[in-house]
Amino acid sequence: MASISISVMSPVQAISRQKDRSQPKPPKTASKKFKGKIKFRGGSLKTPPQTSVGGGIEATTYTRLPPKDDFSDEFSTEVKLADCEVAMLNIEDETETETETENQSSEEEIEEVEEKLDCNLGVGYRRLDIFEGVEEYDDSGEEEYDDVFDDSGKTVNIDEEEGFYEGELDVKEKGVPAVMRCFDRAKIYVKSGDGGNGVVAFRREKYVPFGGPSGGDGGRGGNVYVEVDDSMNSLLPFRNSMHFRAGRGSHGQGKMMNGAKGEDSVIKVAPGTVIREAGKSEVLLELLNPGQKALLLPGGRGGRGNASFKSGFNKVPRIAENGEEGPEMWLELELKLVADVGIVGAPNAGKSTLLSVISAAQPTIANYPFTTLLPNLGVVSFDYDSTLVVADLPGLLEGAHRGFGLGHEFLRHTERCSALVHVIDGSAEQPEFEFDAVRLELELFSPEIAEKPFVVAFNKMDLPDANEKWPLFKERLQARGIEPFCMSAVKREGTHEVICAAYELLRKHKEAKKEFEGPVDMNHVADKVHKQRSASINEFEISHDSSSSTWHVVGPGLQRFVQMTNWRYIDSEKRFQHVLEACGVYKSLMKLGVKEGDTVIVGEMEMVWHDSTKNSGQSKMKKGSEISIKWPQWK
Ligand SMILES: Nc1nc2c(ncn2[C@@H]2O[C@H](COP(=O)(O)OP(=O)(O)OP(=O)(O)O)[C@@H](O)[C@H]2O)c(=O)[nH]1
Ligand SMILES: [Mg+2]
């Protein structure tokens, strides 16, 4: 008979296998499932890919801006604090040499440097602070951490005991005033509750001889839900709490008492939050409307108590299961504005002025580029009781898609908009060039955004400059099949027509959308988990490491079975042997040439292979069927 004897792992082995939990478990990562098909890998085992870990909230960092009209190469790259510091030093050096003899006080020098920067860049940059994210890593307790590299190559630390990820958490934007940070991205860890364990118990009661098994089942682990909270408008709360764990189910008890269900964990997010699995681009959930709730991770099933194992063959089962582990994952949250119409355009074109005249919003308006640093929202009410949410976005520059200026940080907000209003500064030297540059940036950033319907609004018609340029601009755009509007946002002339045209585009878009869209299924992530859990135990993959004579049997169903086996009960081992035989693991191993004394690893169990066919002289099938009939036996 072929059998696997379970060797008790030494504490060292057990710890080392525990450590492996920091890496993805093979069944969870196995992209290909084999049904009864065995894959043999000679040589060393494939090491599982390392997880991308890290967490914490990410805030948008602002960068130094170029003067409005200067699109020269000199300023065509993003200038960050690091670069600016170098620039500062250079200027400081120059200043020092110039004033070496004059022995100026340090305060005066700084003032001079600032003046020099301002005149170099052509705008009042003292008003724009320069910020950069400062990365800090916690060096304390180094021995307790393993270094892991995430996708971006940053080192992050994993606390093995708690499973908390640190490192990226500490990436903070020091020096950025809180009001200017845009908490529109966050990374969180979620884990649903483990199921409670089942127990082995027997009924003992006066006048009830042979009361039978009465071990109750463990309770189901708590679920993790995500819910839209209308009162939230940023992902700021995730700055303080980023680990969400649902409660584990209570263990079963005697007298057929089942364990209580674990407590659910509800993650509240702002309307417009998009959820992705960390490091992946696929969107898992999109939460738009207040009150929307989705089951994200279902809790683990409770382990069965011995009462559930009672059968005609075995009336006194001494076996109970462990509760199923709840799934865990790292998620990336991204908040996108839920605006119907986005106002785009070059800096200083009058976007904020337009928003201020069509809605009650009061954005900052000033005659310098990049007045708007964060998107502003306004609600436009029409006579006929319909409303329109309009977002005024920071100005776009040539090179925005490469991170030049500010606009690109927020362009992703327009992905949600159904229509765009493109404001043109009529007083610009070449309005048409400005129009093309912004259109090009939109196309380069995302072809999807560029395909959105848009209205062109030629602004500042009250200025003679703009008035002169309008006929030519109109003619050229009409030649390209675009019908532009002209307006004076300051004088509130022509703005109503512009917004009505945008509303018309939105209405058409909504109608077209209705035709294509069916009901939204919000629980598809949980459905995916359920599907993974119900993976057949027959689907497994065997790999062989010839150098250490180790066989790895990997399969989601088997993995789950091993995890739920409670080895403290004597019948568990028999059941395990039986299941391995029934699902074809033995047969496949023998086919691949497993030898006496080889190590076989199934899930977290490490075992030694014993081939006793020669000694027993009985056919394997017969012996196997005998086991299955006799199992589980009363001892
Ligand atoms: N004459 C005139 N000036 C205007 C008009 N609309 C806006 N402005 C002025 O243009 C300047 C810029 O206006 P904003 O509304 O701040 O421009 P913006 O496009 O939001 O600029 P950024 O947020 O910096 O990208 C302000 O001084 C406004 O008063 C207009 O129709 N006529
Ligand atoms: Mg503005």
Interhelix angle for 585-592 vs 570-582, to 10°?
60
Give the pLDDT confidence score for residue 363 in this predicted structure: 86
Contact present, 117 and 88 (Cβ < 8 Å): yes
Residue recorded with tokens 């993805």: 24
Distance CA 82, CA 94 (A): 19
Q: Which residue has the higher pLDDT, 152 or 187?
A: 187
Ligand nearest the Cα of residue 356 is: 1
Give the pLDDT confidence score for residue 620 in this predicted structure: 34
Distance 215 CA to ligand 2 centre (A): 68
Distance 31 CA to ligand 1 centre (A): 54
Cβ contacts of 429-435, under 8 Å, gap ≥ 24? 429/69, 431/458, 431/466, 431/469, 431/473, 432/473, 432/476, 432/477, 434/346, 434/349, 435/473, 435/477
Residue 544 burial class via C-beta count within 10 angstroms: exposed 0-12, middle 13-18, buried 19 and up:
buried
Q: Which atom of ligand 1 is nearest to the CA of 371?
A: 24
Residue recorded with tokens 């859990």: 533
Query: How many residues would you count in the chain?
Result: 635
State the average pLDDT for the chain. Answer: 70
Ion ligand 2 neighbours (CB, 5 A) are 352, 371-372
Residue 106 has pLDDT above 50, yes or no: no
Ligand nearest the Cα of residue 368 is: 1
Interval 591-615: pLDDT, tens: 888 888 888 888 777 888 876 654 4
Contact present, 563 and 317 (Cβ < 8 Å): no
Cβ contacts of 236-242, under 8 Å, gap ≥ 24? 236/57, 236/183, 237/268, 238/57, 238/183, 238/186, 238/188, 238/333, 239/56, 239/57, 239/183, 239/186, 242/55, 242/56, 242/57, 242/169, 242/186, 242/187, 242/188, 242/189
Give the pLDDT confidence score for residue 524 in this predicted structure: 80
Residue 368 burial class via C-beta count within 10 angstroms: exposed 0-12, middle 13-18, buried 19 and up:
middle
Contact present, 564 and 524 (Cβ < 8 Å): no
Contact present, 430 and 438 (Cβ < 8 Å): no
Distance 470 CA to ligand 2 centre (A): 22
Distance 551 CA to ligand 1 centre (A): 70
Mutate-to-test residue for ligand 1 from 125, 127, 353, highest number of ligand atoms within 8 A of CB:
353
Give the pLDDT confidence score for residue 591 in this predicted structure: 87
| Angle subtended at Cα 125 by Cα 120 and Cα 126, rounded to the nearest 5 degrees | 120
Q: From the CB of residue 511, how many other CB atoms can be counted at a distance below 10 Å?
A: 9
Give the pLDDT confidence score for residue 546 in this predicted structure: 85
Give the pLDDT confidence score for residue 53 in this predicted structure: 37
Binding-site residues, ligand 1, Cβ < 6 A: 345, 347-353, 365-367, 369-372, 394-395, 459-460, 462-463, 488-490
3-class DSSP state of 82:
helix
Distance CA 599, CA 576 (A): 16
Q: What are phi and psi of 483, to 5 degrees?
A: -100, 105
Distance 431 CA to ligand 2 centre (A): 18
Span 224-252, average pLDDT: 88
Give the pLDDT confidence score for residue 489 in this predicted structure: 92
Residue 266 has pLDDT above 90, yes or no: yes
Q: Which atom of ligand 1 is nearest to the CA of 365?
A: 16
Span 40-59, average pLDDT: 37
Distance 311 CA to ligand 1 centre (A): 81
Contact present, 7 and 550 (Cβ < 8 Å): no
Residue 460 has pLDDT above 90, yes or no: yes
Distance 350 CA to ligand 1 centre (A): 3
Contact present, 306 and 318 (Cβ < 8 Å): yes
Distance CA 74, CA 64 (A): 13
Give the pLDDT confidence score for residue 384 in this predicted structure: 58
Distance CA 280, CA 331 (A): 9
Distance CA 173, CA 157 (A): 20
| Angle subtended at Cα 631 by Cα 628 and Cα 633, rounded to the nearest 5 degrees | 155
Give the pLDDT confidence score for residue 383 in this predicted structure: 64
Ligand nearest the Cα of residue 351 is: 1
Give the pLDDT confidence score for residue 164 in this predicted structure: 34
Q: Which atom of ligand 1 is nearest to the CA of 370?
A: 24
Residue 602 burial class via C-beta count within 10 angstroms: exposed 0-12, middle 13-18, buried 19 and up:
buried
Distance 342 CA to ligand 2 centre (A): 12
Q: From the CB of residue 163, how many other CB atoms can be counted at a distance below 10 Å?
A: 15
Predicted ipTM? 0.98
Mutate-to-test residue for ligand 1 from 123, 348, 374, 467, highest number of ligand atoms within 8 A of CB:
348
How distant is the alpha carbon of residue 419 from its chain centre? 27
Distance CA 452, CA 222 (A): 42
Residue 571 has pLDDT above 90, yes or no: no
Nearest protein CA to atom 23 of ligand 1, as residue: 372
* DSSP H/E element including 542: strand 541-545
Span 326-339, average pLDDT: 86
**Strand 273-277 relative to strand 243-245: parallel, antiparallel, unpaired?**
unpaired
Distance CA 447, CA 401 (A): 12
3-class DSSP state of 94:
helix
Nearest protein CA to atom 13 of ligand 1, as residue: 350
Q: What are phi and psi of 45, to 5 degrees?
A: -75, 150
Q: What is the pTM for the complete model shown?
A: 0.56
Interval 391-408: pLDDT, tens: 888 887 766 656 566 556
Nearest protein CA to atom 32 of ligand 1, as residue: 460
Span 438-462, average pLDDT: 89
Residue 229 burial class via C-beta count within 10 angstroms: exposed 0-12, middle 13-18, buried 19 and up:
middle
Distance CA 581, CA 566 (A): 19
Residue 296 burial class via C-beta count within 10 angstroms: exposed 0-12, middle 13-18, buried 19 and up:
buried
Per-residue pLDDT band at 249 (split at 50, 70, 90)? very high
387 φψ region: left (φ > 0), alpha (ψ -120 to 50), beta (else): beta
Distance 344 CA to ligand 2 centre (A): 10
Distance 489 CA to ligand 1 centre (A): 8
Q: Which atom of ligand 1 is nearest to the CA of 345?
A: 19
Q: Which atom of ligand 1 is nearest to the CA of 488?
A: 31
